[in-house]
Amino acid sequence: MSETAATEDRPIGEHVTLLGAVRGGKYPHGGSLVVAGSEEAVIIDPSLSLVGRSSLPRVDRVINSHCHEDHIAGNHLFLDSPWHMHALDRSGLDSLEGMLEIYGYAGPSADYFRKALVDDFHYTPRPDAVAFSDGDVFDLGGVTVRVIHAPGHTRGHCCLAIEPDAVLYLGDIELTSFGPYYGDAWSSLADFERTLAAVRKLEASRYATFHHIGVLESRDAFVDRLDRFTAVIGSREQRLLEFLREPHTLEEIVAHRFVYRPGDPVPFADAVERRSMSQHLERLTGEGRVREVEAGVYLAS
């Protein structure tokens, strides 16, 4: 399969179809789900891979796991259907400015992302989007989609439990080697860690991620992937402690790169590194494992 060819649609349950994704669902693409009951059908996280598709699924509602660019990139293809998102992220659909608040970028990073949201991700405001909350259930007729609030990646990030197929959609608990992403203004390292511990206890027959891991068909495979995904947080923190054996400023920490690889051409990398590692620094200083030896200069204790 070529780099730009899409995988084929495939059922992952009696009522759940994984739609084909370009590049196997690697960012900025992803694998959207269609869930169909006897009365309604919904699409979960319409992806960029749907743009240019020869035909679109007929759905009654759009459900977004959270408000990030790649998860709403295909929303504009379903303007006649109501859109649904957790109340804590829903304001990102009010306007482009509301969306940018989620990231919290400034300067060139903000300028880049403002343009990319419109040009590359087809951002379309939807002030009438409907908010949902933890525990809410979409009854599709013999099939349900239950909301499980799973914050950290964003304030309103959610997993979705689909029954009776026993499919758990994980959204951006993506289980990749990159590890958890908590680099936006609306991200929280502490919340993400609590979410990962809670999600580990959830039982399902299949675990579906938006990005290229795809579908895991056993709990053992899911737990193994989840544990490796979670361990990236500790790895970043340990590398930070090793770096701080000598005193460094936050800007030197940002330049060293702990989330992205040095040299990765990511226009907003500095902003993500700053937000991510600031949270680690706050925790480590609070625990007494790092101290501020002078204003803005940090050293491992």
Angle at which helix 189-199 crosses helix 269-286, to 10 degrees, equals 80
Phi first, then psi, for residue 138 (nearest 5°) are: -95, 115
Given 196, 231, 266, the domain boundary residue is 231
Is the domain of 119 the same as that of 147?
A: yes
- Asked if 178 and 111 sit in the same domain, the reply is yes
Phi, psi of 281 (to 5 degrees): -60, -45
pLDDT of res. 203: 97
Q: Is residue 173 assigned to a domain?
A: yes
Give me the number of domains the chain comprises. Answer: 2
What is the reported pLDDT for 2?
45
Lowest mean pLDDT among 108-112, 114-118, 126-130, 292-296: 108-112
**Cα separations in angstroms, 87 against 3, 13, 134, 175, 275:** 36, 29, 9, 25, 23
Query: Are 192 and 288 members of one domain?
Result: no
pLDDT of residue 4: 66
Q: What's the pLDDT score for residue 12?
A: 97
Q: What value does the mean pLDDT take over residues 268-273? A: 95
Q: Average pLDDT of 52-61? A: 95
Does a structural domain hold residue 92?
Answer: yes
Over residues 6-21, the mean pLDDT reads: 95
SS3 of 49, please?
Answer: helix
| pLDDT tens string 235-259 | 999 999 999 999 999 999 999 999 9
3-state SS, residue 163: strand
279 and 163 together in one domain:
no
Domain presence at residue 93: yes
Q: What is the pLDDT of residue 198?
A: 98
CA-based radius of gyration for the chain: 20
Return the minimum-mean-pLDDT range out of 3-17, 39-53, 115-129, 235-249: 3-17
156 with 227, same domain: the answer is: yes
Residue 69 lies in a domain: yes
End of a domain among 174, 204, 231?
A: 231
Range 120-147 average pLDDT? 98
Q: How far is CA 137 from CA 3, 41, 88, 148, 160, in A?
A: 37, 14, 17, 10, 9
Q: Are residues 226 and 87 in the same domain?
A: yes
Q: What is the mean pLDDT of residues 69-81?
A: 98
Q: Residue 127 domain-assigned?
A: yes
As a whole number of angstroms, the distance between CA 164 and CA 238 comes to: 42
| 84/115 same-domain check | yes
Instruction: Give mean pLDDT, residues 38-63.
Output: 97
Alpha-carbon span 49 to 242, nearest angstrom:
41
Mean pLDDT of the region 103-118: 94
pLDDT at 64 over 60: yes
Average pLDDT, the chain: 96
pLDDT in tens, 161-210: 999 999 999 999 999 999 999 999 999 999 999 999 999 999 999 999 99
Q: Is the pLDDT of residue 291 over 70?
A: yes
Q: Final residue of a domain: which of 200, 231, 262?
A: 231
Residue 179 lies in a domain: yes
DSSP 182-205: --STT--HHHHHHHHHHHTT---S
Tell the burial category of 134 from Cβ atoms under 10 Å away from its Cβ (0-12, 13-18, 19+): middle
Can you tell me the distance from the alpha carbon of 268 to that of 107, in angstroms, rounded to the nearest whole number?
A: 10
Q: Is the pLDDT of residue 1 over 70?
A: no
| pTM attached to this predicted model | 0.96
pLDDT of residue 6: 80
Stretch 154-167: mean pLDDT, rounded?
A: 98
Residue 172 maps to which CATH number? 3.60.15.10
Please list the residues that pair with 147 across neighbouring strands: 160
* Angstrom distance (rounded) from CA 242 to CA 253: 11
Contact 290, 244 (CB under 8 A): yes
- Residue numbers of the domain that contains 269: 244-300
Cα separation, 280 vs 80, in Å, equals 43
Task: Categorize the per-residue pLDDT at 3 as very low, low, confident or very high, splitting at 50, 70 and 90.
Answer: low
> Does 150 lie in the same domain as 47?
yes
Are residues 21 and 133 part of one domain?
yes
Q: How many residues does the chain have?
A: 301
Under a CB-based contact definition with an 8 Å cutoff, are residues 192 and 152 in contact? yes
| Closest by CA position to 103, among listed 219, 224, 299, 274 | 274
Please tell me whether residues 223 and 257 are part of one structural domain.
no
